[in-house]
Structure formats: C-alpha cells, structure tokens
Chain A
Amino acid sequence: MRTSLRLIPSFYRGIQNVTNTCAVERCMRDAPVARLTHSRLFAHKVQEKEIPLEDKKLDDLIQKAEASPPPAIEPIDIDKPRFPGSRSEWTEKLEFLMPEAYPGIPVYRVMDRKGLIRDAAQEPKLDEPTLVKMYQKMTLLNYMDRILYESQRQGRISFYMTHFGEEGILIGSAAGLDDKDLAYVQYREAGVLMWRGFTLDQFMNQCYGNEEDLGKGKQMPVHYGSKELAFVTVSSPLATQMPQAVGSAYAYKRAQNGQIVICYFGDGAASEGDAHAAFNFSATLDCPIIFFCRNNGYAISTPTSQQFRGDGIASRGPGYGIPTIRVDGNDTLAIYNVTKAARDISLQQNRPVLIEAMTYRIGHHSTSDDSSAYRSVDEVKHWDKEDNPIARFRRYITQKGYWNDEKETQWKDQAKKQVMQAFQRAEHKKKPSPEELFNDVYDELPWHLQKQRKEMMDFVRSNPEHYPLKEHAKMGAA
C-alpha cells in the first residue's frame, strides 16, 4: 500500500485532498487496481460459499469489479528505471556488490607518530595558547583518570571509567566545535566537558554523588552533565542519545541559533537500533548534527570482528546519505580539522556528517572489567607506548618550541596537586539529604510521592540506627 501511494500519483493526490471522507474509501474509488483486487477477493468468496445470486449487494460488487477498466499502459519513451525508491541505471550484468571488493575508507591524518606534519597545507593554524591548552586538558584528564581509577580500587568511589588513549579525540573535537554546540555523549567523553570548563570539583562531586553534584547524587559515577556547558547528561543505556541528538538538531535548525549538535558514541553502540534510527532520521530530516564515532576496537570484551563485518562504522554513512570521513583518533590535529570542517558542512548545509575516529581503548572498559581476560598485555602496551595521542601531541608542540621538559615537570606537579585537592574536597562533602530521592521525578511532587516521602522520612526517623544518616545532609521537615 505504501508503495502504491507512490506509484499512482493520482491516487496519492486523491488522499491529500480528502477532508472528511475516509482516506481509504477515497483510495478505493480512485485506485482501480486496489479495487479490483478487493472485489476479486469477494468474488472468490461468492464461489466458495455458493451464495444465491439474488444477493444484490454482492451482485453489485461483482458488476463493479467487472466494469473497472484495467490499468492503462503508458507508452515508454525513455528506457530508464523509474522506481521511486532509487536513482539507478539498468544493467544486464548479474553482479552482486561485494563489500570485499572495495578498499577500506582511508584514515585521514595530519601528523605522523613522531608528531611531524605530513602535508603543511593540512596543519591547522592554532596559536601557542590554544595548543598548550589542548595539551594541558589532555594531560589533566589523564591525571584525573589515574587518581579516580585508583580511588575506585580503594573503594572510595563505586565505579569509574577511564579515557586512556582517547584523550586526543575528546580534546581535538571539542576544540573544533563552538563551546555552545550541544553535546550528547555516551560516557567516555569527559574531555569535552573538561575543555569547556567543567571544574575538577564538579567532576569529583558527581563521582562521589555528594550534595554539590549537579546531578544531585542520582546517577552512577562518570554520568556527568552540565546545562551551562551544553553537555547533555550521560545515561547508561547505549545509543539512546543518538536519535535524541537528532531531535535537538532539528529544533536548533528551526530556532536558527547558529549552533549544531554533536553526538559521540562507540563502535559497539553503533550496533544498537537507535543508531540506525538516528542516522536515517538525521538524513531524511536534514539535521545539523555531527555523529562522532569512537572506534576503539572493543565493546567491553567484544572485538570489532564480532561487532560488524563491514568497513567499520564510516562505511555505513553513505548508505544513509551522510557525508562521512574516517580519521586517525590519535592525531589530535586531524581530529580538530575534521570536526571543524564537519561543523561547517553541518551548519551551512543543514545535514548530518559522520566522523569515525580510529583509536584503541588502552584502559580497561571500566573498573568492573579486567581486560587481560580477553586481550594481550603486549597489544595494550603497543598502543600506550608507540601510538599514544598525548605523546604524539607533546612531540608536536615541543617541535614548535611551545613546550619543554621543564614545563612538563612543572605542569605535572600542578595538575596532580589540583586533582588531589579537588578529590579530597569532594570526599569530605556530605551526600544529599535522603528525601532528595523523591525530587525531580516530575516537575512537581505528585500526591503519591508526597505520601511515600513522608512514609520514608517517618520510618527513618524512627529507625535511625539502620541508616547511614551521618553521611547525608539533614532531612528537612515533612
């Protein structure tokens, strides 16, 4: 039926003009093919059940069916396929499109592993303060990861996920955006927030779920969010942020606010149905969005060979009609370039762009995972030592004369100190008051939640010995 809507234009126009009459009554009247088929069904029934011929209604139906002219045959002047669903030419060769027959989409890079620029024309003209800021944010993220990872090992926070090996992706792409562009992320993208000015205290408060956490202690650690920094709060279900990001991009397009939306996700999340939904919606609805895939080789223990058989995620882009590029995720300058260029396309043409950044997850998936159970330590070492985004970027800025060993030592001490101090401050803050658990379910507390809140508070007040009240801010009156 859907197909015939497109095949028979007059039939389709008929539907559009309908006001009060039922669409299909109209369809049936305007579409001889459909009516004929329908009537034949009835005629068949007549035969089968041997209904007497004096049944006038049935008789009418049969007569109408017989009176319907068959579809007219139009002269074919141009021998071209006219199917509404594609823009093809004919071929007389029986030939399947074999994915193996095509080389992989190339990986764009600006500098090599030694930090040397390969093509001077591709070097982004970033000034010294920007480059130093990029390096400092990458390393600060790295220090924060080390401290929080260890603190989880000591049982001080419940959970953590590091960004080892993906720092360049995060800082490079964040620098290529406007800070007000709305970012939807998966969970391994704290670097974007860090670039935009989320403070170490804010990171730590979230991981501790203390009363100064912007998320009010509701979510697991690393589920950051900041309205002020246009960074939509992380949630655990994978890929759900993808169609949401498209919806926001559509709203941004209508608002004409000069901003785009960026949506980060991993190679594993790209297997979710929501990823398919997002790619397709963004293309058909012309949305200014960058899809940024971090292809780091693993989804927890699952290597990409068990995740997909095509040429990574990038090869899917053209299938959806999305401009696409693959980039070296350990080359921060290349990441910066493609993000900036993608932003231009997206904003100017109101269309999605897909970036696939190739990288390697150096750390464990999370603190609940021991990755040596499914991959070799040597493999990890190779990426950590031989192809690390931070090391590469440091070589580049050192060659430019913007950085040296002395600055490195100074910065290291300063960064570590900052992280440790924020860590201790967060650890000593109280957790939210227990009744906070009822807030923000709705904009206002409905009757049943008011009732349950009172019940909880009354019970806790009568049985304080069973609850960790000392760790929490005091309960209010209720």
Chain B
Amino acid sequence: MIVKRGLRSVLYALRTDARYASTRFTFVPEVAPDEYGPTTKLNLFQSINSAMDVALSTDKTAIIFGEDVAFGGVFRATINLQEKYGKDRVFNTPLCEQGIAGFGIGVAAAGSTAIAEIQFADYIFPAFDQLVNEAAKYRYRSGDQFDSGSLTVRSPYGAVGHGALYHSQSPEAYFAHTAGLKVVIPRGPIQAKGLLLSCIRDKNPCVFFEPKILYRSAVENVPSGDYTVPLGKADILRKGTDVTVVGYGTQIHVLKEVADMAQEKLGVSCEVIDLQTILPWDAQAVCESVVKTGRLLVSHEAPLTNGFASEIASYVQKECFLNLEAPIERVCGWDTPFPHSMEAFYLPDKWRCLDAVKRLSKY
C-alpha cells in the first residue's frame, strides 16, 4: 500500500494538470494590489513555496515537515527550502499522518511554529483525532495555559482530473464542524501566499487546503515580499445585482465563468464571492450580497449532504428570509465517493451551475 501510494504521488506530480483543467475552467490571472510591492510570475506551488520561504526567514522557530518534503515535495512546494534553511528545519517524517499532526501540535505547544504537510487531503483522516480532539481543543481545555495556535497543516486538495477516490477529496466540511480550527482555501497564487502566511502566523491551528489542480495551471504575478491576506474575510470578485454566487478554491474559477455565461446567455448579473476562509466564514459579506440580490447559489466540489453549502444556505435563509426571491441553490458533488472515469459527470461544472442560475432567475 505504501509503495502504491508513493507511486501515485509521484505520478500525480507528473501529469500536466492543465490538460484536464482546460476542459473544466479557465484560470484568469488577477492583479495583486500595489501595496503588496513588486511581483514575480509564479504558479500556485511556487507561491506556496515563497510563503514558506518568507515564514522560515522571519521566524527562526519555524519548521516544515511531512512525507517527502525534504527533496522538495511530490508537488514541489518545498523545493530548495532544505538547502536554504537546513535539515533541522525542513525534514521528512516517517509515513504516518497521525504522527505528523501530533508531532506538529507538540512543536506548537512548546512555542515553536509548525508547518506540517499531509501529502493529500484524502490522507488527513488518520490525523483527524489529533486535529479535532487535540489541536482544536488545546487552548479551550487548558484554560488558555497551552495552545497549538502556531500549527498550520497544509494539504493538496480537490479534484485533479483523474484522482479518483483518494486523490480528489474536499474534506473541508469535516473540519468546519470543529470549534477551534480555522479552515482556509485559496483560489490562486496571490491569495495563496497571503493566506498561508496569515495561517502560519495566526494564533489558532489552521488547516490550509491547496487546490492541487492549480499548482501548475494557475500563474500570476505574485508579490515577492512579505504580505498577508486576512483570515475570515470573503473576497467579492465581481459585483452583480441579480444572483449571489458563493464558492471557494478551484470552484471560484468555474463560478467566474458561470457569471460571464449568465450575463451573456441569460442577461443575469451575478455577484461572485470567494469565501477564502471556511471557518470562521464571512457571513456578513454573503448576507449583505443576498440582501441586495435576493438569490443565492452556493457551489463546491465536496458532496452535497452536509457539505459546507448547507451551513451557508441555512444561515442565509434565517438571516435574509424576507429578501430571498427564490430557494437557495446548492450545486455540489454528488453524494458518492469521488469516481475515476466519471469525474466529468461528478463535478459541479459550469453547465450545472449555469442551470442553477437559470432556475434562480426564473423562479
């Protein structure tokens, strides 16, 4: 099993994601705000690498560890960091996720900064107990005597075109049900670096999911210096008046395209919101938008039942009842494991989302 997984990991780094990505969504690079300073052209794994470079250079206690991170990681996110910062700061662990998470909590409890990698979000479940029962509750149960706030767990996440059951999962809702954790998912290189640096420096344990299909396919001019993007804040990417469209991660690029198509084909104006932080999420931004538009579509790759869209939908229904003009739509993965050959039919693609926008506007 170990060999198989190792093989798969490496094979996944091989495949050109763009080939698959192009059929699903188009990544349109964004422009970083001027105040973040000069930029370099980086893809997502390089911007993650840059964030960790900044984190290690500004915090002498910070260490990076996980499976195969020493040689640069199976997705190249930790490349050159061991050479630059030494073997005691960037190192491989034995192949054991519960150990990685537990070890990271201990590093954090002793006051150092721990940046742990779980090779695929699909393999975070052996660490579930450590993250949910331990990391999340450390501060609470000790009366703030001890905490694991300087722990960040980063993990490749989401559909990749051919990842099947165990290289495609989106487990954010499991963690969003856990008081004490912060759960963060970026949509592109600029956001990724700023959000990851915020996670690393936040005084609470953070789970940071990196949409792996964007590792190579998403390229932007990323600020080279040290900057952060605030946690708990949604980003309104496109102003609109008719339908509020909420998502995060890769799905944002699908939704941006849906907004274009809705305008073009239906004459419907969509307001696109990237949640960025799943827990605690920016309900204010979403509700303000729904009060204006009266209609809401939430979309994520994860399965529908008890996915995070359920939380958003029920909250908005309570807070914006008098403003809602149509039932809230959730366009999500089906309630099945993530399939291999049938991925195209599983994903909440732009056509399914557009259909939901149509339903919302015609209701």
Contact = CB atoms under 8 A, between A and B. Distances in A.
B69 to A, nearest CB: 13
A232 B98 contact: no
Contacts of A169: none
A213 B143 contact: yes
Given A440-B143, A443-B203, A23 B232 contact: no
Nearest to B150: A251
B3 interface: yes
A3 B3 contact: yes
A254 B79 CA distance: 22
A23 B104 contact: no
A227 B102 contact: no
B324 interface: no
A251 B144 CA distance: 20
Contacts of A237: 129, 133-134
Interface string A187-222: 000000000000000000000000001111011000
Given A233-B145, A243-B98, A277-B96, A24 B10 contact: yes
B137 to A, nearest CB: 7
B81 to A, nearest CB: 13
B222 interface: no
Nearest to B145: A227
A173 to B, nearest CB: 20
A243 B76 contact: no
A243 B148 CA distance: 13
A251 B98 contact: no
A232 B109 contact: yes
Given A19-B79, A23-B76, A443-B139, A281 B61 contact: no
B14 A223 contact: no
Contacts of B93: 281, 284-285
Nearest to B139: A440
A226 B146 CA distance: 9
A416 interface: no
B190 to A, nearest CB: 19
A228 to B, nearest CB: 8
A213 B91 CA distance: 39
A293 interface: no
Interface string B98-137: 1101111111111110100000000000100110011001
A251 B134 contact: no
A213 B143 CA distance: 8
A250 B103 contact: yes
Interface string A276-312: 1110110011000000000000000000000000000
B106 A18 contact: no
**Interface size bracket, A side:** 35 or more
A182 interface: yes
B117 to A, nearest CB: 14
A245 B180 contact: no
A250 B13 contact: no
Contacts of B141: 215, 218-219, 223, 233, 235
A182 B146 CA distance: 12
Interface string B72-90: 1010100110000000100
A443 B98 contact: no
A43 B288 CA distance: 59
Interface in B150-190: 179-180, 182
Contact of B63 (A254, A274, A276, A280): A254
Given A1-B3, A225-B142, A251-B111, A246 B106 contact: yes
A441 interface: yes
Contacts of A1: 3, 6-7, 10
A28 B14 contact: yes
A389 B2 CA distance: 46
B102 A274 contact: yes
B33 interface: no
Interface string A24-42: 1101100000000000000
A459 interface: no
A284 B94 contact: yes
B13 A278 contact: no
B280 interface: yes
Nearest to B284: A447
Contacts of A19: 79-80
Interface string B270-293: 000000000010011000000000
With most chain B CB atoms within 10 A of its CB, the pick from A18, A19, A244 is: A244
Nearest to A23: B13
B349 interface: no
A219 B144 CA distance: 13
A111 to B, nearest CB: 36
A448 B61 contact: no
B321 interface: no
A247 B76 contact: no
B13 to A, nearest CB: 5
B21 to A, nearest CB: 15
Contact of A447 (B112, B180, B280): B280
Nearest to A206: B143
Nearest to B130: A240
A11 B99 CA distance: 29
Contacts of B322: none
A400 B15 CA distance: 75
A362 interface: no
Nearest to A286: B88
A274 B144 CA distance: 24
A214 B145 contact: yes
A225 B142 CA distance: 7
Nearest to B2: A2
A22 interface: yes
A274 B103 CA distance: 10
Interface string A127-148: 0000000000000000000000
A446 B3 contact: no
B257 interface: no
Nearest to B4: A1
A94 interface: no
B71 interface: yes
B110 A233 contact: no
Given A213-B143, A240-B129, A280 B99 contact: yes
6 contacts: A24-B14, A215-B143, A223-B141, A225-B143, A247-B102, A250-B103
Interface of A: 1-3, 15-16, 18-19, 22-25, 27-28, 182, 184, 213-216, 218-219, 223, 225-227, 232-233, 235, 237, 240, 242-252, 254-255, 273-274, 276-278, 280-281, 284-285, 439-443, 446-448
Interface of B: 2-3, 6-7, 10-11, 13-14, 61, 63, 71-72, 74, 76, 79-80, 88, 91, 93-94, 96, 98-99, 101-112, 114, 126, 129-130, 133-134, 137-147, 149, 179-180, 182, 203-204, 232, 280, 283-284
Q: 5 tightest CB-CB pairs across the interface, nearest first?
A: A247-B106, A243-B102, A277-B99, A24-B14, A244-B106
